[in-house]
Structure 1
Amino acid sequence: MEEKLTNGHHHDVSLPLEGGIPPEEEMFLQHKSDGSKRSQFTDFEGKTSFGMSVFNLSNAIMGSGILGLSYAMSNTGIVLFLILLTCIAALSCYSVHLLLTSAGVVGIRAYEQLGMRAFGHTGKILAAVIITLHNIGAMSSYLFIVKSELPLVIQAFLNQTSSSGEWFMNGNYLIIIVTIGIILPLTLMKHLGYLGYTSGFSLSCMVFFLSSVIYKRFQIACPLEVFGGNYSVVEAVVDAVVPDDTCSVKYFTINQETAYTIPILAFAFVCHPEVLPIYTELSNPTKRRMQNIGNVSILGMFTMYFFTAIFGYLTFYGNTEAELLHTYSKVDPLDTLILCVRLAVLVAVTLTVPVVLFPIRRALLQLLFPGKPFHWARHIIIAMCLLFCVNLLVILVPNIRDIFGITGATTAPSLIFILPGLFYIRIVPTEREPLNSRPKIQAMCFTALGFIFMTMSLTFIGLDWTSGEKRSMGGH
């Protein structure tokens, strides 16, 4: 039975509970005897609309991973990529269902608290650490794009084809400026729901990116991109250098780089730490309403991902690099449309960082200050420390593909498959669903699938690293 969660007056949890409802659950479910009293699971009255919640969740899903999808398709082929993309999207929807069902049973709206309820303090720490590591990886990938693309944008505005060595061309300085001037003020906002406006703008930027990728597919004639430089220089040497299969479409292929496909796809669909905070701030929240938000968001991102991947791949074929935008710069570094696309992507990933930081801060607050009321000093200090660590990591990391690979192979399967399945198995009462019931067996298989994905991905990536072969790093 679905309980409608609304906000209003505080409950006095010191009073005896009716019907033997546990104290933890009583905070979220309505009193049967007094319809005037409303449940409250935060100090914030949920006012975020359905549409704004879709924007927030879609923005949490969509991020830097979209830039690696054409690269993934080039190493799997169109058919295998579509199969994998469909599977990951469908499994993500099922994962959201498991999370919402578990949260509905115990009335908890925090990922870390689900871990606490399922496995005690160890589960709480594990969930918080995984969320923190994953979102730090995500924030790092976003800021890495700022570090690599913003100097190119400035360079194009100055009509230069190479860096002049000035300080404002240094990506390390630029990410610090962007962090202090744009990201930090947004992360200091108290509630996630208010970021729906920036999320909507961020999504519109990525729609423009997709439109440009489609347009460029019909403007760039293969194999101009193979050689770099501009059109006039390339055309004279095309016949002498291009391999026969440079511009051939592959529908199904497996190679050494295929190992990165599932991690890249998993990384591109992770939104699960944001599901429960968005549910918390949703107006008129019900499980079905939040599941619909999850389904709409994932379907929308599935569509964007597939079209971006296929049109990017059909532009560059086997020469697609791990960061799609960098591949375009090999054709014409001063192209006006690509300059605009770079700006759009920079805006999108910059505005996504604050949305991703919220669950990290919440996880740390659950770990370090459990049960403490909101305090501005803690709120601000944690945000500043997180941004400092992420900036330091981005300055030190040499390329973006390994961020996709490692994050997508470890924390992404944990958040999509392993933890939601384990939470469901442990939290849903056995008298309601025995261990041998179909839903519990499905959850067990789902969890096992996560372990298989993680083991396979880490094994193949490890073999790729130890092979010593030179790999394309997307130029970063």
Structure 2
Amino acid sequence: MEAFWGSINAEQSWLVSSQPSEEVAAAEELSPLLSNELHRQVSPGVSFGFSVFNLMNAIMGSGILGLAYVMANTGILGFSLLLLMVALLGSYSVHLLLSMCIQTAVTSYEDLGLFAFGLPGKVVVAGTIIIQNIGAMSSYLLIIKTELPAAISEFLTGDYSGSWYLDGQTLLIIICVGIVFPLALLPKIGFLGYTSSLSFFFMVFFALVIIIKKWAIPCPLTLDHTEEFFQISNATDDCKPKLFHFSKESAYAIPTMAFSFLCHTSVLPIYCELQSPSKKRMQNVTNTAIALSFLIYFISALFGYLTFYDKVESELLRGYSKYLPHDVIVMTVKLCILFAVLLTVPLIHFPARKALMMMFFSNFPFSWIRHSLITLVLNIIILLLAIYVPDIRNVFGVVGASTSTCLIFVFPGLFYLKLSREDFLSWKKLGAFVLLISGILLGNFSLAFIVFDWIKK
């Protein structure tokens, strides 16, 4: 333990004593050393393509179902600007994380908190990661609980109400025990590369179906079999997209986007298992994953919004379930998106379990018993949350405004300002300062409006 803290103090002393030019040179020398160490640990490593798929799987999940609702409450241009801003800031914050990872020779978000602010910093980061990942996993399971019974019932003819396979809670328990728990027990994140690539193609298929079905649902929406859900309106304004639109529901925009682009807790674990790891290679993995995710997010949100306009649901699949309940393509894509969301849950288990390990068992050797018990406890927690949380929008709003903004904006900017010895007027430090202030303002502003909306209701 003393040796560990001695190494921490020595590395911190090196950071403090370095001048800006020396820091760059030292980082350049340290980079290959760190890369070699990482390469030795996980040789031969995970390929570039599988690393992109893994990171995309960490990025894309339940958020894709909530962005059309966000576009309806911000307008097409407003949504586009906000989504682009969050994507760029997210990519830049990963750049800062990787820079600090090279400077400090550590490969975990929690240890960056330790370097910056000691043990309290590590505990705060680990706690934030655990809360955010639990919120993310529970939101994925919440989608499965609400949509899987509906998807199964659409394939059935006749009355099967009351059957166990149409009960969301029963299906959720079976899935958590039979699929999520075994996959989450895998010791390395790279093993999920094949399932992640499959999940990515499901998301692409989802986006293509959203585009196709835009012309299958007329506007204005008519009654027919959806009488209890939609009102007939002949007003042409109902079918005109809005470029900018703001309402009290717009408060959910930034939190939902932050929630949708958060991959920072998975970046460093993926970096550790990357084949021939280097800062540049991992940044290319991140930029590729964020760019592809942005494209799929935008297409899905745009055509989902242009299908339902102001009547778009907070969870996009509900609209198609109500208006096209027995459409074969919609039924197929629903199963695909549910499977893609399901495959994301084990991936998010890794950073959550790692954070718990670092908080309570950092000085203990690996143990399969402890590994399995922590995975089981996490599984039980997210299962209970998925059963009792009523609306996915609440998860997007609260988790996105609090923990997601901290992990994407606040922590990377704050840690870089603390650890880097560059001049404050350097581009990187100014960027880190903007990242920090943006995260604090956007997170607090959104959270205040969400809480006010709850109180008002």
Displacement of 1:442 after TM fit? Answer: 2.2
**Any idea what the Cα deviations from partners look like across 1:77-108, whole Å, max 9, x if unmatched?**
10100010110111011010010001110111
* 1:442 and 2:438 correspond: no
Aligned to 2:183: 186
Change (3 A) 1:46 1:364: farther
If each structure's helix is expressed as a fraction of its own residues, which one has the higher value? 2
Q: Distance in 2 between matches of 1:85 and 1:38?
A: 36
Contact 1:229–1:332 at 8 Å: present in 2 too?
no
Q: Secondary structure at the match of 2:245?
A: coil
Amino acid at match of 2:201: S
Contact 2:195–2:343 at 8 Å: present in 1 too?
yes
Amino acid at match of 1:434: D
Aligned-pair RMSD on alpha carbons? 2.6
Amino acid at match of 1:438: W
Aligned to 2:225: 229
Give the 5 Å matches for 1:11-410.
38-40=36-38, 43-45=41-43, 47-159=45-157, 164-224=161-221, 227=223, 229=225, 238=232, 241-410=233-402
Amino acid at match of 2:92: Y
Aligned to 1:471: none
What's the % identity of the aligned pairs? 45
TM-score (ref. length: structure 1): 0.87
**Any idea what the Cα deviations from partners look like across 1:219-254, whole Å, max 9, x if unmatched?**
111123x64726xx89xx94xx44442212111111
Q: Distance in 1 between matches of 2:180 and 2:192?
A: 12
Displacement of 1:440 after TM fit? Answer: 1.6
Displacement of 1:383 after TM fit? Answer: 0.5
**Any idea what the Cα deviations from partners look like across 1:286-345, whole Å, max 9, x if unmatched?**
101000110000000010011000000000000001000001112121111111011001
Q: Distance in 2 between matches of 1:461 and 1:275?
A: 29
Amino acid at match of 1:75: N
Amino acid at match of 1:298: I
Amino acid at match of 2:452: L
> Any stretches of 5+ residues in structure 2 without a counterpart?
16-26
Contact 1:148–1:171 at 8 Å: present in 2 too?
yes
Displacement of 1:157 after TM fit? Answer: 1.6
Displacement of 1:45 after TM fit? Answer: 3.2
**Any idea what the Cα deviations from partners look like across 1:35-54, whole Å, max 9, x if unmatched?**
9x952588533510111100
Aligned to 1:451: 440
Greater CA drift, 122-131 or 44-53: 44-53
**Any idea what the Cα deviations from partners look like across 1:382-423, whole Å, max 9, x if unmatched?**
111000011011111111111111111111100100001111
Contact 2:113–2:121 at 8 Å: present in 1 too?
yes
> Any stretches of 5+ residues in structure 1 without a counterpart?
1-12, 469-476
Greater CA drift, 44-53 or 116-125: 44-53
Contact 2:46–2:273 at 8 Å: present in 1 too?
yes
Q: Distance in 2 between matches of 1:267 and 1:325?
A: 19
Change (3 A) 1:46 1:282: farther
Contact 2:142–2:386 at 8 Å: present in 1 too?
yes
Q: Distance in 2 between matches of 1:164 and 1:42?
A: 56
Q: Secondary structure at the match of 2:246?
A: coil
Contact 1:42–1:280 at 8 Å: present in 2 too?
no
Q: Distance in 1 between matches of 2:50 and 2:13?
A: 32
Amino acid at match of 2:255: P
Q: Secondary structure at the match of 1:245?
A: helix
Count of aligned residue pairs for this structure pair: 438
Q: Secondary structure at the match of 1:246?
A: helix
Contact 1:422–1:444 at 8 Å: present in 2 too?
yes
Change (3 A) 1:115 1:208: same
TM-score (ref. length: structure 2): 0.90
Displacement of 1:30 after TM fit? Answer: 11
Contact 1:30–1:38 at 8 Å: present in 2 too?
no
Aligned to 2:24: none
Q: Distance in 2 between matches of 1:258 and 1:372?
A: 46
Amino acid at match of 2:218: A
Contact 1:213–1:308 at 8 Å: present in 2 too?
yes
